[in-house]
């Protein structure tokens, strides 16, 4: 087996830049062009194979860095204990019951909150990958640009399901009752996962637009805080001022929390499930193409 030594680029000029005339730069540039042009021509089977390989890569990263799972493992426990024991007495009384009644109210709402917080981590992770130069490796690969982002979302959806399982486990320890069927419980979990996945495209777009991971996190918190606390996740909107009740009516997190709560507590679902699915579809259809286009331009 022989080894071919490629000429190096001009000092101070990265390979593939206009000032680099080396064969290596031409080769890298050709591969980059092929990857971009062939995005639409890559078959479904090849695309799924690429996504599977990238999912495995991201999963191995988590295995090598188990600390990255601390938010998934600890956040559901802390939030459940915090809200149940701080607000459970007063809010539970307003619901006509006690702290036990509040558990069945807040745990389904926290399922919506988990999705938003984990979605924020996707944006910071994408931004960090660009800062470390990881995306430069994908630039030379003949793979669909969307497969890189879809693989990240698949892994984060897995993390979200782990967080939801821990959240429900804590809820059962604190007295959560599934008053409907197991099918309705899985429907609530699936609805939360679908909505959380749609939000990930927004945060990926933020991660590709902002310069630093800290900026992504700061911008995300400005969005998260009003949406989370201006919703029906933690307290009934009927106790809020009129102007805030109007905001909660149009808040997609309220729709998701109400849908999950109704499914688990065997209550009339109304339009909350369909509104949540409509929000999920709309967010994905708008933000996904923008994120993929931004990824192509940035990489």
**For residue range 95-122, what is the model confidence (pLDDT) as tens digits?**
766 788 899 999 999 998 888 888 888 8
The C-alpha atoms of residue 231 and residue 210 are separated, in whole angstroms, by 27
User: What is the structure's pLDDT at 199?
Assistant: 92
The C-alpha atoms of residue 116 and residue 198 are separated, in whole angstroms, by 10
The C-alpha atoms of residue 149 and residue 132 are separated, in whole angstroms, by 16
Residue 20 has pLDDT above 70, yes or no: no
Residue 232 has pLDDT above 80, yes or no: yes
pLDDT digits (tens, 9 = 90+) for 270-282: 889 999 999 999 9
Residue 162 has pLDDT above 90, yes or no: yes
Average pLDDT, the chain: 80
H/E stretch holding 11 reads none
Give the pLDDT band (50/70/90) at residue 7: very low
Contacts within 8 Å (CB) and 24+ apart, 47-52: 47/144, 47/147, 50/143, 50/144, 50/147, 50/151, 51/147, 51/150, 51/151, 51/154
Give the pLDDT band (50/70/90) at residue 167: very high
pLDDT digits (tens, 9 = 90+) for 145-159: 778 888 889 999 999
For the chain, the structural domain boundaries read: 23-298
User: What is the structure's pLDDT at 165?
Assistant: 95
Q: Average the pLDDT over 177-196 and give the result.
A: 93
Residue 8 has pLDDT above 80, yes or no: no
User: What's the predicted TM-score (pTM) here?
Assistant: 0.79
What would you report as the CA-atom Rg of the chain, rounded to the nearest whole angstrom? 23
User: What is the structure's pLDDT at 50?
Assistant: 80
The C-alpha atoms of residue 168 and residue 264 are separated, in whole angstroms, by 11
Q: Average the pLDDT over 246-258 and give the result.
A: 91
pLDDT digits (tens, 9 = 90+) for 27-67: 344 444 444 444 556 667 777 888 888 888 888 878 888 88
User: What is the structure's pLDDT at 92?
Assistant: 76
Q: Average the pLDDT over 186-198 and give the result.
A: 94
Question: 210: which residues sit within 8 A by CB, 6+ positions away?
Answer: 123, 127, 216, 219
Question: 121: which residues sit within 8 A by CB, 6+ positions away?
Answer: 71, 156, 159
Give the pLDDT band (50/70/90) at residue 259: very high
Residue 286 has pLDDT above 90, yes or no: yes
Residue 217 has pLDDT above 90, yes or no: no
Lowest mean pLDDT among 23-37, 74-88, 211-225: 23-37
Residue 292 has pLDDT above 90, yes or no: no
Give the pLDDT band (50/70/90) at residue 140: low
Residue 144 has pLDDT above 90, yes or no: no
Give the pLDDT band (50/70/90) at residue 5: very low
The CA-atom distances, in angstroms, between 56 and each of 26, 59, 197, 299 are 30, 5, 19, 22
Q: State the maximum Cα–Cα separation within the chain, in Å, rounded to a whole number.
A: 79
Strongest mean pLDDT among 60-74, 84-98, 225-239: 225-239
């Amino acid at each position: 087996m022989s080894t071919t030594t490629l000429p190096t680029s001009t000092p101070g000029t990265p390979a593939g830049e206009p000032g680099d005339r080396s064969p290596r730069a031409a080769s890298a540039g050709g591969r980059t062009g092929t990857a971009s042009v062939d995005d639409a021509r890559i078959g479904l089977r090849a695309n799924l194979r690429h996504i599977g390989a990238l999912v495995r890569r991201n999963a191995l990263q988590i295995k090598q860095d188990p600390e990255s799972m601390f938010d998934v493992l600890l956040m559901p426990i802390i939030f459940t204990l915090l809200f149940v024991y701080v607000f459970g007495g007063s809010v539970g009384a307003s619901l006509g019951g006690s702290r036990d009644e509040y558990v069945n109210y807040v745990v389904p709402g926290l399922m919506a909150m988990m999705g938003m917080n984990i979605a924020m981590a996707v944006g910071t992770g994408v931004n960090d990958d660009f800062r470390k130069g990881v995306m430069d490796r994908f630039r030379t690969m003949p793979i669909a640009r969307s497969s890189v982002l879809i693989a990240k979302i698949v892994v984060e959806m897995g993390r979200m399901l782990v967080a939801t399982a821990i959240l429900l486990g804590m809820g059962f320890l604190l007295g959560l009752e599934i008053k409907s069927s197991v099918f309705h419980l899985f429907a609530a979990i699936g609805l939360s996962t679908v909505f959380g996945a749609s939000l990930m495209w927004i945060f990926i777009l933020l991660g590709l637009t902002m310069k630093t991971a800290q900026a992504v996190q700061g911008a995300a918190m400005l969005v998260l805080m009003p949406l989370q606390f201006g919703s029906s996740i933690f307290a009934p909107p009927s106790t809020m001022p009129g102007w805030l009740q109007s905001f909660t009516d149009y808040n997609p997190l309220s729709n998701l929390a109400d849908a999950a709560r109704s499914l688990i507590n065997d209550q009339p679902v109304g339009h909350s499930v369909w509104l949540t699915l409509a929000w999920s579809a709309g967010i994905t259809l708008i933000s996904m193409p923008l994120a993929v286009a931004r990824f192509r331009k940035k990489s």
